[in-house]
Amino acid sequence: MDDRPSRRFMPRTLATRALGVGRPPSTALTPSIDMSTTYARDPDNGYSSGHVYGRKDNATVQQAERQIAELEHARDAMLFGSGMAAAAAVFVALPPTHIVAPRDMYWGLRVWLLSAHRYGHEVSFVDMSRLDEVRSALRPGKTGLIWIETPSNPLWTVTDISAVADLAHRAGAMVCADSTVATPVLTNPLVFGADIVMHSATKYLNGHSDVVAGALASADRSELWLRIKDMRDQQGAVLGSFDAWLLTRGLRTLDLRVKEQSRSAALIAERLLGHPAVGAVLYPGLPDHPGHAIAARQMPNGFGGMLSLRLRGGAAAAITAAAQVQLWRRATSFGGIESLVEHRASIEGEGSPCPDDLLRLSVGLEDPNDLYRDLADSLDLLTRM
Ligand SMILES: *Cc1c(COP(=O)(O)O)cnc(C)c1O
């Protein structure tokens, strides 16, 4: 390993070599970052370290993958350059098939699935909270995949993962769960029978709104999983090592962040319930939410940091309320430490199934009383208009 030169080289050579490679790590408590795109061969021409080239084997990326695999009780995890890249990898690796997907789901993925016929897939959209609809959409022997998202964006519809997994497996289909909103702190879809779990790591996993990344984790090394891995390694939709390092840092506080964000979201949801400007509060933690009982079983540590409000005054009131807040930032995305408010229909655009009176709230780590007061002040103004 020690390749310090045995004779004196010119300064330019010494500088280029940066004092050699493969030196033993220090006793640092903080993970070191491995920026290398290539790794040294052994004296016998082998690669005993397992690290050959940065696209496939970067050690910092692998460290974040191991963290995610542990958190999801998975055999293996894979990181991608974005959540969309992770999700698309599943659909593209799948041989042409019939897919059942939820009507209420992340908009970007819904748009992707609307043109999945390019890859030979046929997609049926169903209300995933209604098992009878799922059952009648399934074509035994023909359906290859059920895609679920729970709680789903932006209505927070809850899917019974074990019931859907049971239906899927009996029909010979696999289940992939987009668990971006639940995070591994609140739900482990693989434990409930899903085959693959997907995350936009851009959201809670990283948690600081400074990395775009995606993850997949699998219960086993299935044929589909190995195809996805080959595709990622060959097509190269990988995550950079610095982003992986930031993600590793974010993951270290995931549990604390998500539990606190869930507590704050529950408090804000309850306090907004009776507000005269608010027609409905959508949050799986509220007892009258249609998916509450399933969520209570599937999400034992909290109901998440996301909620939506439907305003009595319609789209205009929703947009005005978002414009009047001072503490909440008006932006898309979610899962960061700063609270965000968004008029969701505006960003989804034409053809969006999102109600236009809906405001999506991502609860951050500010004091929940400050967050509530700021929203309530804005809503109070509406009722006086
Ligand atoms: C953001 C998001 C995605 C897409 O992830 P990117 O990292 O933005 O590519 C997929 N699913 C859900 C539920 C999301 O919120």
Q: What is the pLDDT of residues 17-26, one digit of tens each?
A: 776 666 666 7
Name which residue sits closest to atom 2 of ligand 1, judged by CA: 200
Task: Read off the amino acid at residue 27.
Answer: T
Per-residue pLDDT reduced to its tens digit, 327-346? 999 999 999 999 999 999 99
56 is catalytic: no
- pLDDT score, position 3: 53
Nearest ligand 1 atom, CA 202: 7
For ligand 1, the distance from its centroid to the CA atom of residue 177, given in whole angstroms, is 12
* Residue 79, ligand 1, Cβ within 6 A: no
C-alpha distances out from residue 197 to 62, 124, 149, 325, 334, Å: 17, 20, 10, 35, 19
Choose, from 55, 75, 103, 139, the residue flagged as catalytic. Answer: 55
For ligand 1, the distance from its centroid to the CA atom of residue 210, given in whole angstroms, is 14
- pLDDT score, position 15: 77
For ligand 1, the distance from its centroid to the CA atom of residue 315, given in whole angstroms, is 24
Q: What is the mean pLDDT of each run of 10 residues along the chain (385 residues)?
A: 65 77 75 92 94 94 97 98 98 98 95 96 97 97 98 96 98 98 98 98 98 97 97 94 97 97 98 96 97 97 98 96 96 97 90 92 98 97 87
Q: Which fold has domain 54-251?
A: Aspartate Aminotransferase; domain 2 (3.40.640)
Q: What is the dihedral of CA 294, 298, 299, 304, to 10 degrees?
A: -70
For ligand 1, the distance from its centroid to the CA atom of residue 87, given in whole angstroms, is 9
- pLDDT score, position 1: 41
Residues 6+ apart with CB under 8 A from 329: 338, 339, 340, 341
* Residue 189, ligand 1, Cβ within 6 A: no
Q: Both tokens of residue 151? A: 């709680």
* Residue 155, ligand 1, Cβ within 6 A: no
Residue 28: burial class (beta carbons within 10 Å; 0-12, 13-18, 19+) = exposed
* Residue 304, ligand 1, Cβ within 6 A: no
For ligand 1, the distance from its centroid to the CA atom of residue 200, given in whole angstroms, is 4
106 is catalytic: yes
* Residue 160, ligand 1, Cβ within 6 A: no
d(Cα 130, Cα 291) in Å, to the nearest integer? 10
- pLDDT score, position 351: 81
Q: Buried b / exposed e across 310-336, counting CB within 10 Å, b at 16+? A: bbbbeeebbbbbbebbebbeeeeebbb
The DSSP code for 25 is P
* Residue 153, ligand 1, Cβ within 6 A: yes
Sequence ranges of the domains in the chain: 54-251, 254-384
* Residue 214, ligand 1, Cβ within 6 A: yes
Choose, from 106, 204, 283, 372, the residue flagged as catalytic. Answer: 106
* Residue 102, ligand 1, Cβ within 6 A: no
* Residue 183, ligand 1, Cβ within 6 A: no
| Pair type for strands 98-102 and 143-149 | parallel
Choose, from 203, 232, 257, 310, the residue flagged as catalytic. Answer: 203
Residues 6+ apart with CB under 8 A from 195: 165, 174, 175, 176, 218, 219, 220, 222, 224
| Mutational test site, ligand 1, from 202, 211, 344, max ligand atoms within 8 Å of CB | 202
Nearest-5° Cα angle at 199, 249 to 112: 140
229 is catalytic: no
- pLDDT score, position 130: 97
Name which residue sits closest to atom 4 of ligand 1, judged by CA: 83
Q: Both tokens of residue 249? A: 């840092």
d(Cα 2, Cα 23) in Å, to the nearest integer? 7
Nearest ligand 1 atom, CA 149: 13
55 is catalytic: yes
Choose, from 160, 178, 195, 243, the residue flagged as catalytic. Answer: 178
Q: What is the dihedral of CA 261, 263, 268, 270, to 10 degrees?
A: 150
Q: Which CATH superfamily is domain 254-384 in?
A: Aspartate Aminotransferase, domain 1 (3.90.1150.10)
DSSP3 helix / strand / coil % (the chain, rounded to 5): 40, 15, 45
* Residue 200, ligand 1, Cβ within 6 A: yes
HEC per residue, 348-370 = HCCCCCCCCCEEEEECCCCCHHH
